[in-house]
Amino acid sequence: MRFNLNLKECEVTSRALWASRRDFLRQTMTAGLGGWIAAPLVAKAGSLGAKPNPAFRVSDPTTPLEKVTTYNNFYEFGTSKEDPAQQATDFKVRPWKVVVEGEVNKPQTFDLDDILKLAPLEERIYRLRCVEAWSMVIPWIGFPLKELLNRVDPRGNAKFVELISLMDPDQMPGQKNAVLDWPYREGLRLDEAMHPLTLLTVGLYGDVLPNQNGAPVRIVIPWKYGFKSVKSIVRIRLTETMPVTSWMKAGPSEYGFYANVNPAVDHPRWSQAKERRIGDFLKRPTLPFNGYADQVASLYSGMDLTKNF
């Protein structure tokens, strides 16, 4: 499969202007449609009340919200970067439930409101690096995935965590195309899933997740390529054996299970040594583990990361 990387340089709109324009359009539509309007993509600023966590910040400038919400990989809504923002406007995120099952002693089904109450929400500024050699810096909101996993009491034989997205072709038109074997599946080793950096994510830039960014709940794993960060999760399954993920099945020679950001391991069709931050013209060197080596390199001690890509 080939990716279409069309970087469009445009004037960056400030968050305040973007929000005011969105509110104006929403009010106009409400009046014009007799009071009916679909749920907004973004709630009012600060609606999640998350507190910034200074332990998880980077020195890089954050990517403007407008770019974060209009340049996305979310194949359930289409393969072009612009498709998710255009196709996900009517995506329904309530009611929403996440089933956690498999090798656990206390399998549970969590309602979205239950998830929001599991642990205090934090704002963490993480880098996001995509396998197509572009990157962003985003203030994500959520809490460590381990807080949810601890609630289901993993069994001693649980070694991996499989994460599965919603399957609903009526809402997700990209699923009508056989670009992947739907539903979208990803996986982690249990120790990766329990790592403090692995974030169960419900928002960005102070607000709930926009539909095109993986609403209502997704994973962010900042030391791995972006395709590992599953969106619109409905099922989490703990397993004894390594799950076969969507991209492993689609391109086993190109997309491995680990997908750690590694400038020394090229994609078969392009180099990963450099990346272009969205909004920048020049490329910058790619950092091992996306700059999080101090925190996560020990997870892979003794592994050949050129073979275990």
What local confidence, expressed as pLDDT, does residue 46 receive? 52
Are 116 and 98 contacting, i.e. CB atoms less than 8 angstroms apart?
no
| The pLDDT of residue 47 | 81
Residue 200 phi, psi (nearest 5): -75, 115
Residues of the chain falling short of pLDDT 50: 1-45
> Which residues, 6+ apart, have CB-to-CB distance to 57 below 8 Å?
124, 125
Which residues are 280's β-sheet partners?
none
Phi, psi of 138 (to 5 degrees): -130, 135
Residue 213 token pair: 């960014």
Strand, coil or helix: 32? helix
Q: Which residue has tokens 């072009």?
A: 80
Could you give the CA distance from residue 25 to residue 9 in angstroms, rounded to a whole number?
Answer: 24
Cα separation, 112 vs 93, in Å, equals 9
Question: Distance between CA 88 and CA 83 in Å, rounded?
Answer: 8
Kindly report the backbone phi and psi dihedral angles of residue 61, in degrees, each rounded to the nearest multiple of 5, phi listed first. -60, 145
CA-nearest of 138, 124, 23 to 72 is: 138
Q: What is the CATH number of domain 42-300?
A: 3.90.420.10
What does the pLDDT look like over 43-102, one tens digit per residue? 444 589 899 999 999 999 999 999 999 999 999 999 999 999 999 999 999 999 999 999
Q: Report the alpha-carbon angle 12-218-141, nearest 5.
A: 60
Residue that the structure tokens 């670009």 belong to: 179
Residue type, 53: N
pLDDT for the residue numbered 40: 35
Place of tokens 């609403």: 215
List the chain domain ranges: 42-300
CB distance 138 to 204 below 8 Å: yes
pLDDT of residue 117: 94
